[in-house]
Chain A
Amino acid sequence: MKQRAITAMNALAVFAAFLLLWQIVLWVFHVAPYMLPSPLAVAKAIGARLPSLLDSLAITAEESAGGLAASIAVGVIVALFFAQSRWVRKMFYPYTLLLQTVPIIAIAPLILMWVGAGQPAVTLIAFIISLAPIIANTTQGLISVDENLVHLFLMHNASRRQLLFKLRLPHAVPSLFVGIRIASGIAVIGAITGELYAGSSRVGQGGLGYSILYASSQLQTDYLFALVFAATVLGFSFFFIVMFLEWYFLHRWHESARVMETE
Chain B
Amino acid sequence: MNSSAAIAQNVPQIEIFGVTKSYGTGQKVLESLDLTVCREEFVSIIGASGCGKSTILKLISGLTSPTSGTIRVEGMTPVNARETVSYVFQEATLLPWRTVSDNIGLSLELEGVAGDRRKKKIASLLQLVGLNHVADAYPRELSGGMKMRVSIARALATNPRLLLLDEPFAALDEMSRDHLNEELLRLRGEQKWAAVFVTHSVAEAVFLSDRIIVLAPNPGRIHAIFPVTLPSSRGAALRTSSEFDALVSRISHSLRETLAA
Contacts and interface: CB of A to CB of B under 8 A. Distances in A.
A252 B140 CA distance: 9
Contacts of A255: 140
A70 to B, nearest CB: 26
B110 interface: yes
Given A253-B96, A253-B97, A254-B96, A152 B87 contact: yes
User: Taking chain A's interface residues, is the majority helix, strand, or loop, or is none over half, making it mixed?
Assistant: helix
A149 B110 CA distance: 13
Contacts of B87: 151-152, 155
A175 to B, nearest CB: 13
A157 B95 contact: no
B91 A148 contact: yes
Interface string B83-95: 1011101010101
B88 to A, nearest CB: 10
Size band of the interface chain B makes with A: 20 to 34
Nearest to A170: B97
B138 A155 contact: no
Nearest to A252: B138
B139 interface: yes
A146, A152, A156, A171: most-surrounded residue (chain B CB, <10 A): A156
A251 to B, nearest CB: 10
Nearest to A258: B140
Contacts of B107: 152, 156
Interface string B76-88: 0000001101110
A167 B138 contact: no
B96 A155 contact: no
Contacts of B61: 151, 155
A244 B85 CA distance: 43
B63 A154 contact: yes
Contacts of A152: 87, 89, 93, 106-107
Contacts of A201: none
Interface in B85-143: 85-87, 89, 91, 93, 95-98, 106-107, 109-111, 138-140
B86 A155 contact: yes
B158 interface: yes
Nearest to B80: A157
A253 B110 contact: no
- Ranked nearest first, the 9 interchain pairs of A and B with the lowest CB-CB distance are A156-B110, A253-B138, A148-B89, A148-B93, A158-B110, A253-B97, A156-B107, A253-B96, A155-B87
Given A155-B82, A156-B111, A171-B97, 8 more contacts: A146-B93, A151-B61, A151-B87, A153-B110, A154-B82, A155-B61, A156-B107, A166-B109
